Chains A and B, each alone.
Chain A
Amino acid sequence: MLHIINKSPLGNNSLDACLRVAASGDILLIEDAVYAATKGNAMEGKVREAMSRLKIHILLPDLEARGLADRIIEGVAKVDYGGFVDLVAANKNCQSWL
């Protein structure tokens, strides 16, 4: 399934909760959640660890808007809005971690 997160991992536990629960599937980080996919943030270790069992994607326009496109963790997949739609369509179901 697809998990969508839109909150910064440093101000909200949504990413933490998602990583705790999800054993496999896709995670898409959008809006403020894109900070989780940047090098040097406090969640980097957890994100890297999760990448062995989950495919992590970020919505690139949201990362670019925040001035951090050059700091993306290697192995995180960049998607545009079309890629967002493809992810939703490719998955059976979807959970938005509000």
Chain B
Amino acid sequence: MNEVKKFLFVNRKAPYGTIYALESLEVVLITAAFDQDVSLAFLDDGVYQLKKGQQTKGIETKNFSPTYRALDGYDVEKLYVEKESLDARGLTEEDLLVDVTVLGSREMGALMDEQDVVLSF
């Protein structure tokens, strides 16, 4: 593999209610091994994946939210969150457990446009 491609993982589902969020995170970690240009986008209920303070003991499910903080070590440093999705859920950047870049809707659209591969979860 000699050509680096731009991969965008689009996350639009809340964690725990469905398996999408966890599956996406696992695919991201695997993709990181291939030295590609990986970005993550969080919009709609996907922004809930990054909410601080998740406590899953009571639902007997693994809390995978700390793993988002490991992404930096995997050289996955580009995390984008859509502002309108945060606003619609009463969240701000301070509610999130990792550093992100907040984008407006159309900036998010432009980010998608420039990718070689978009993977949806």
Contacts and interface: CB of A to CB of B under 8 A. Distances in A.
B17 to A, nearest CB: 13
B120 A95 contact: yes
Q: How large is the interface on B (under 10, 10 to 19, 20 to 34, 35 or more residues)?
A: 20 to 34
The 3 closest A-B pairs by CB, nearest first: A21-B109, A20-B105, A95-B118
Interface string A5-18: 00000000110010
A23 interface: yes
Contacts, number: 44
Interface of B: 10, 12-13, 20, 43-44, 82, 84, 105-106, 108-110, 112-113, 115-118, 120-121
B110 A93 contact: no
Contacts of A96: 120
B121 A98 contact: yes
Given A25-B113, A95-B10, A17 B44 contact: yes
Contact of B120 (A13, A20, A97): A97
A93 B43 contact: no
A21 B108 contact: yes
A88 interface: no
Nearest to B121: A98
Nearest to A3: B112
B12 A17 contact: yes
